Structure 1
Amino acid sequence: MGTLAESLVSSERIVFLTGAGVSASSGIPDYRSKNGLYMGKENPEYLLSATCLQNEPDKFYAFVRDNMYYPNAEPNVIHKKMAEIERRAGKKVTVVTQNIDGLHAKAGSRNVVEFHGSLYRCTCQRCGMMLHVERYLESDKHEDCGGTIRPDVVLYEENLPEDAINRALEAITKADLIVIVGTSFKVSPFCNLTDYRKAESVVFAVNQELLRLPLKYTMIQDNAISIFKEL
């Protein structure tokens, strides 16, 4: 097995599986670290649940509006390098991300599977109209029909969208190379995607914390920013 750089050159079908660590260098905190979104918050998983949205929409909205949006965040070298690799001749690249910040698309990646949805798509729950995120940040009430607007993200107690699962599985089953980046890779079903890889596919993991995966892979325990700068 060669280096990650060599594998990126030799592989035609590549899947990047990305998590919160990828966006941390863009100033977006993860969820559970000592400086994460949940730190110091009382019952944050309830605040991001379907029950809270239904029963206490004002509380849900205040938490999401005040804690989830980072409009000044820009793609970092990891996002940009993945988009660049996608533009190389002969490459079929899919990014499957747990992140809901839209930075992969902002960096120029065209084939992105947002496994948990996106904060930047918003929909009125009553009439189904899609609305700009700027409108949602002003108010979660839709003036046209009085419905409650919500971001199109997967909340606790909700199922993942079938389309996202199917697109991710299609990419994984055809991939020559799978690169896991910036994630502890412990949250199911995201961490189960590699179960559907081809037997001969090559797997790399790039993460500051050591990952212990039940498969053959090469671990690069380092800051992903440093690694992707050199690719």
Structure 2
Amino acid sequence: MFDLKKALACAQHVTFMTGAGVSTASGIPDYRSKGGLYADSQRPEYALSADNLAAHHDAFHEWVVKNMYHPAAKPNVIHRVMAAITNEKGTIVTQNVDGLDRQAGAEHVVEFHGNLYRLYCQTCHQAIDYHDYLKSDIHSADGGVIRPDIVLYGEPIASEVLQAAVKAIQQADLLIVVGTSFVVYPFAGLIQYADPKATLAAVNKEPLELPLGAHMVLGDATQVFADLA
């Protein structure tokens, strides 16, 4: 039987691949489950798209502010344990845009889809405080439209981010998938860069479709990581 604690102790470099399920315990809704971010939206992919931002920046701003920002959310035990492990010997590659990994103290994080709390004016590229964005998406200095530095539908992953993620996957002798159904691409495709000799494990309430030889740790991730702590 697979022993996650033992595997972590023996590993030289651990890479966590994480998704929205890591942050649900912090009060941030996931995307597609009942009650998730997309549950009541007719066209969620359009709401959070580059096309919507370009054509209807005011509607885009309203949707993002209403649905995406959760400033009261704090890192949970999963974030804290991952930060402690990766600060010593690893990396977190996350789909999450909430910044909670860094808030938990993680030093080695690849934010694959960006960070909601990094914002900039599209005209002058000046960094903008998110408190100002909550009030308006127009930069008072030049009238430019402000946007969060996240990957929208219809946009590619930045090459330097992709390279950092691939490097983290390649270096790992232990890969742990947490809080993601592992069906969203290109993120799920990163697994192809793993060392064939690396150990792959996933923590989830239900089994995931994983490559042959991977280990499935069934259970609530918050409990699994609390036990690791």
Band of TM-score, shorter chain: over 0.9
* Structure 1: 4+ residue segments shifted above 2 A: none
Compared CA separation, residues 31 and 2, structure 1 to 2 (3 A): closer
Q: Does 1:147 align with 2:150?
A: no
Structure 2 counterpart of 1:203? 200
Query: Following superposition of structure 1 onto structure 2, how do residues 52-67 of structure 1 map, counting pairs within 5 Å?
Result: 52-67=52-67
State the one-letter code of the partner of 1:205: A
* Distance across 2 between alignment mates of 1:217 and 1:180: 10
Q: Percent identity between the aligned chains?
A: 49
State the one-letter code of the partner of 1:119: L
* Distance across 2 between alignment mates of 1:209 and 1:120: 31
* Distance across 1 between alignment mates of 2:62 and 2:43: 14
1:42 deviates by 2.3
The question of whether the paired residues in 2 share the 8 Å contact of 1:21 and 1:182 is answered with: yes
* Distance across 2 between alignment mates of 1:84 and 1:56: 42
Q: Does 1:159 align with 2:156?
A: yes
Q: Does 1:18 align with 2:15?
A: no
Q: Does 1:120 align with 2:135?
A: no
Query: Following superposition of structure 1 onto structure 2, how do residues 77-88 of structure 1 map, counting pairs within 5 Å?
Result: 77-87=77-87
The question of whether the paired residues in 1 share the 8 Å contact of 2:15 and 2:86 is answered with: no
Structure 1 counterpart of 2:7? 7
Q: Which runs of 5+ in 2 are unaligned?
A: none
Q: Does 1:39 align with 2:39?
A: yes
Q: Does 1:182 align with 2:179?
A: yes
2:104 equivalent among 103, 107, 127? 107
* Distance across 1 between alignment mates of 2:63 and 2:202: 33
State the one-letter code of the partner of 1:54: A
SS in 2 for 1:127: coil
The question of whether the paired residues in 2 share the 8 Å contact of 1:182 and 1:208 is answered with: no
* Distance across 1 between alignment mates of 2:170 and 2:39: 37
* Distance across 2 between alignment mates of 1:230 and 1:186: 27
* Distance across 1 between alignment mates of 2:222 and 2:81: 10
* Distance across 1 between alignment mates of 2:21 and 2:134: 25
Indicate the RMSD between aligned Cα atoms, in angstroms.
1.0
SS in 1 for 2:26: coil
SS in 2 for 1:70: coil
1:39 deviates by 1.1
SS in 2 for 1:69: coil
Deviations 1:90-145 (A, max 9, x none): x4210000000000000000110000001000010000101111111111000011
* Distance across 2 between alignment mates of 1:75 and 1:22: 9
TM-score when normalising by structure 1: 0.96
1:86 deviates by 2.7
1:2 deviates by 4.6
The question of whether the paired residues in 1 share the 8 Å contact of 2:86 and 2:92 is answered with: no
Query: Following superposition of structure 1 onto structure 2, how do residues 163-174 of structure 1 map, counting pairs within 5 Å?
Result: 163-174=160-171
Structure 1 counterpart of 2:70? 70
1:214 deviates by 2.5
* Distance across 1 between alignment mates of 2:133 and 2:72: 17
Q: Which runs of 5+ in 1 are unaligned?
A: none
* Distance across 2 between alignment mates of 1:60 and 1:168: 28
Structure 2 counterpart of 1:51? 51
* Distance across 2 between alignment mates of 1:93 and 1:134: 32
